[in-house]
A and B are shown apart, each in its own frame.
Chain A
Amino acid sequence: MTIYSLYILNKAGGLIYQQDYNPGLLKLSANDYLVLAGTIHGVHAIASKITPFSLRDDSAAAGQSLLNTNSFLNHPLPVNYTSNKTGLNFIQTDFFNIYLFQSLTGIKFILVTSPNGVLSNNLTNAELILRKIYIIFSDYVMKNPFYNLEMPIRCELFDLKTTQLLKPV
Chain B
Amino acid sequence: MSNSLSSTPNKQKLINSTCLDLLLLEIVPLSIRITHKLQQENDSSSLTTSNLSDNKTNNKIRIETLESNYINNDLVNFKVENYGYSIGLRLGELLSFQINSNSLNLISKENNNLDILNIMKFICRDVWKKLYDKQMDNLRTNHRGTFVLIDSNFKDLTRMSSSKGINDTIIKCKPYVWFPCGIIRGILSSLDIDSTVNFEITKFPSVTFNVQTNISG
Contacts and interface: CB of A to CB of B under 8 A. Distances in A.
Task: Kindly name the residue among B28, B29, B160, B176 whose own CB sees the greatest number of chain A CB atoms within 10 A.
Answer: B160
A contact face: mostly helix, strand, loop, or mixed: loop
B39 interface: no
A158 B159 CA distance: 9
Interface in A14-59: none
Interface string B54-80: 000000000000100000000000000
B161 interface: yes
A155 interface: yes
A156 to B, nearest CB: 5
A72 interface: no
A145 interface: yes
Contacts, number: 32
B25 A143 contact: yes
B66 A154 contact: no
B163 A155 contact: yes
A144 interface: yes
Interface of B: 18, 21-22, 25, 28-29, 66, 159-163, 169, 172, 176
24 contacts: A140-B161, A143-B18, A143-B21, A143-B25, A143-B159, A144-B161, A145-B25, A145-B28, A145-B29, A145-B66, A145-B160, A145-B172, A145-B176, A146-B66, A146-B160, A146-B161, A146-B162, A146-B163, A146-B169, A146-B172, A154-B163, A155-B163, A157-B159, A157-B161
